[in-house]
Amino acid sequence: MGEGERETWTTEEFGTSHEGAVGVLLADGSVPAPVFFDMSSGGGGQTVSQWSTYNGRYPRVPRAAALRAVCSCGWTGPAHELDWDQIGDQALAEAAGGTADTCAQNWDTHTSEVDRSAIPLPETFTELLAQLVTEIETLAKTSPLAALRAARQLEVTAARVAYWPAHEARQDTDPEEAANALGLDEDAARKLMARFGDWSPYR
């Protein structure tokens, strides 16, 4: 079953390997199919799975019984039941906005756990990186072009110093181990190593 359009969340480091969203559960515990809205007589339309769509007020649109956070990695958060007696005629997006925010917080906790389970970095490195960010932000206040050049040098340096580690990681670790260490799915980990190791990710 394909996914319809909906609001999703990602982190800068983990990207679509851990893409989160508010998921919907029906009263029987099942996940509803995306809803198709016919926009014209010519057959055009939009397929949507945004949680606030599932208000049960239109034909072929079921009513959400609970909301939960979901992630592209397969993780799901706890179900948060909706009280339709309290929701009444309110728009679901407004009436259950707080519940959706709770789902987002559940997903934040999940990505924090992913971060903790990834291979740890030395504290000296994270401190140096934070210092570099501060230096570039300070530089940007007086010379945006100098800040861009500094960022570019960081980019060039990262590509240079990661070349051999990418090759060694490819040789010494299996795809699942590399993915877990990087907090990514196997496809994203393979593409990351290929980018830094300067080989085609498709070979």
Mean of all residue pLDDT scores within the chain: 93
Share of the chain above pLDDT 90, in %: 87
Check pLDDT > 90 for residue 43: no
Give the pLDDT confidence score for residue 37 in this predicted structure: 76
For 31, 52, 54, the CA distances from 59, given in Å and listed in that order, are 17, 15, 11
- pLDDT at residue 1, rounded to an integer: 39
The three-point CA angle 131-133-136 to 5° equals: 110
- pLDDT class for 196, splitting at 50, 70, 90? very high
pLDDT-derived band at 185, boundaries 50, 70, 90: very high
Least confident of 54-63, 130-139, 140-149: 54-63
The pTM for the full model equals 0.85
Q: Which residues, in sequence order, are bridge partners of residue 45?
A: 38
